[in-house]
Amino acid sequence: MNKKTLCLYFQVHQPVRLRKYHFFDLGKSHDYYDDFANRTITRKVAKRCYLPANQMMLELIQKYGKNFKVSFSISGLALEQFEKYAPEVIESFKALAKTGCVEFLAETYSHSLASLVDEKEFNLQVKQHADLIKKLFDYTPVTFRNTELVYSDKIGEMVARMGYKTMLTEGAKHVLGWKSPDFVYTNSLNPKLKLLLKNFRLSDDIAFRFSDKSWGEWPLTAEKYAGWLAESVKNEDLINLFMDYETLGEHQDVSTGIFAFMANLPQQVFATSAFEFLTPAEAAAKHQPVAPLNVPFAISWADEERDLTAWLGNELQLEAFEELYKVRDKVKAVNDPALNYDYCCLQASDHFYYMCTKLFSDGAVHKYFTPYDSPYEAFINYMNVLSDFVARVDEKYDNKEKKAVKSSVPVEAPVKKTVVPKASAEKNMKEGKKAVSRTRKK
């Protein structure tokens, strides 16, 4: 029997959070980060999610061997904070890497939206991230997952130019129309890039609805869910379940039964005899694309619209985003380590997400994640930090320009005096006297 594919992927990210930075701090303090909050949150989520979830994944691999596969994309900022505040999380991911049943995906180092505005910065961050994955896990990523599954035809073409053969994105209804997300597609500009699309209904049943007691399908059991999976792919090739790793234990508390559900899911899936677990790279290699996917305008996995409005949907967000990338060339010209680090942290998409002014169900999701009392407070705090950062960049850039101008000004060479030998001087004097005498005789 030709089994269908079940692709299980998790996003892992923690931003470097900003401290309360007031207007009167500008020019006086360049300490932008809330180290206490960053440490506390990283440690808390490690205890609730990363460590127990990684242990569960390791036990599933030990139980089922090569039959169970899982994949992760872990942002560079998250990895930095794990190394700093929770190194045991790094070790637990290393243990998973050694099994050979885990694929680590490439992404932007700072979980940024650089792909929308700056290809150079985008390429730089992707390479920086891939280098860190290689260093930590001895693994070279071959599949790409952009921040929050942001994708368009143009972005896909850029990813293909970087050499990646497979990319993940959202199975957005307004893009697919009547088509199913449960097939492999290709980039419309470069067919060499294969696309795996998230099945958002089945993914969100776990990520968002699992503990919702008002949901008609609550409580969700692994047996019931495995039946849904089997029913969904009678005529399709694969199901891609993409979600935040923090779903396990953080967004869905352990008391909801989420860990027991996930631990029991592979057994129930194998009982249906319909599926095999594969990584994204393996899934793309196994299945032939059915058609190109035309995505002229960027999509994502956020909110009902599945577009960019979670980050760039109002004037506050657009202004902050524009000012941030306006200074990019100067930052790179200065090439100061401290400024480079700050620029990396300030690009995290979370800062713009906190400025979102959406209402209703989407607004509730945004409110859950933000550390600010309002989107306007998030905007003011970010712009205060950004203003100080830009002033530092301008100062360094101007100083560098002045030094460059000064060093390029040619120094006037001293006038050399021609020293005439004494014999030649006497000879010239005699010749001169004879010429004057001849002139007088005439």
Name every residue whose Cβ is closer than 8 Å to that of residue 106 and which is 6 or more positions away in sequence.
73, 126, 129, 130, 133, 141, 142, 143, 144, 145, 164
The catalytic residue among 103, 121, 148, 246 is 148
Give the mean model confidence (pLDDT) for residues 11-25: 96
3-state secondary structure of 369: helix
pLDDT in tens, 136-157: 999 999 999 999 999 999 999 9
- CA–CA separation, 147 vs 354, rounded Å? 16
Give the mean model confidence (pLDDT) for residues 355-374: 73
**Res 24: pLDDT:** 93
- CA–CA separation, 114 vs 125, rounded Å? 9
* Confidence grade of residue 364 (pLDDT, cut at 50, 70, 90): low
Helix (H) or strand (E) holding 185: strand 184-187
Query: Rounded to the nearest 5°, which phi and psi values hold at 71?
Result: -135, 155
Q: Do the Cβ atoms of 262 and 248 come closer than 8 Å?
A: yes
- Average pLDDT across the chain, whole number: 91
pLDDT of residue 409 exceeding 80, the answer is no
pLDDT in tens, 23-49: 999 999 999 999 999 999 999 999 999
Tell me whether the omega of the peptide bond preceding residue 219 falls within 30 degrees of 0, making it cis. yes
Instruction: Name the percent of the chain lying above pLDDT 90.
Output: 85
pLDDT of residue 373 exceeding 80, the answer is yes
Give the mean model confidence (pLDDT) for residues 93-115: 98
Decide if 426 is catalytic.
Answer: no
**Res 273: pLDDT:** 87
C-alpha torsion angle, residues 405, 406, 412, 413 (rounded to 10): -110
Of 19, 21, 14, nearest to 43 (Cα)?
14
Architecture of domain 4-293: Alpha-Beta Barrel (3.20)
Which is it for strands 166-170 and 184-187: parallel, antiparallel or unpaired? unpaired
Which is it for strands 275-277 and 238-244: parallel, antiparallel or unpaired? unpaired
C-alpha torsion angle, residues 390, 391, 395, 397 (rounded to 10): 10
The domain locations on the chain are: 4-293, 309-441
Find the helix packing angle between 258-272 and 222-232, rounded to 10°.
Answer: 50
Please give the structure tokens belonging to residue 272: 């249906």
Distance of CA 410 to the CA centre of its chain: 46
* Confidence grade of residue 403 (pLDDT, cut at 50, 70, 90): confident
**Res 203: pLDDT:** 97
pLDDT in tens, 179-200: 999 999 999 999 999 999 999 9
Sign of the CA dihedral running 302, 305, 308, 313:
negative
**Res 366: pLDDT:** 53
- CA–CA separation, 309 vs 300, rounded Å? 9
Name every residue whose Cβ is closer than 8 Å to that of residue 59 and which is 6 or more positions away in sequence.
263
Amino acid letter at 414? Answer: P
Instruction: Name the percent of the chain lying above pLDDT 70.
Output: 89
pLDDT in tens, 294-349: 999 999 999 899 999 999 999 999 999 999 999 999 999 999 999 999 999 999 99
Name every residue whose Cβ is closer than 8 Å to that of residue 263 and which is 6 or more positions away in sequence.
56, 59, 60
| DSSP string for residues in 133-153 | HHHHHS----EEE-GGG-B-H
3-state secondary structure of 379: helix
Q: Do the Cβ atoms of 152 and 387 come closer than 8 Å?
A: no
Amino acid letter at 347? Answer: Q
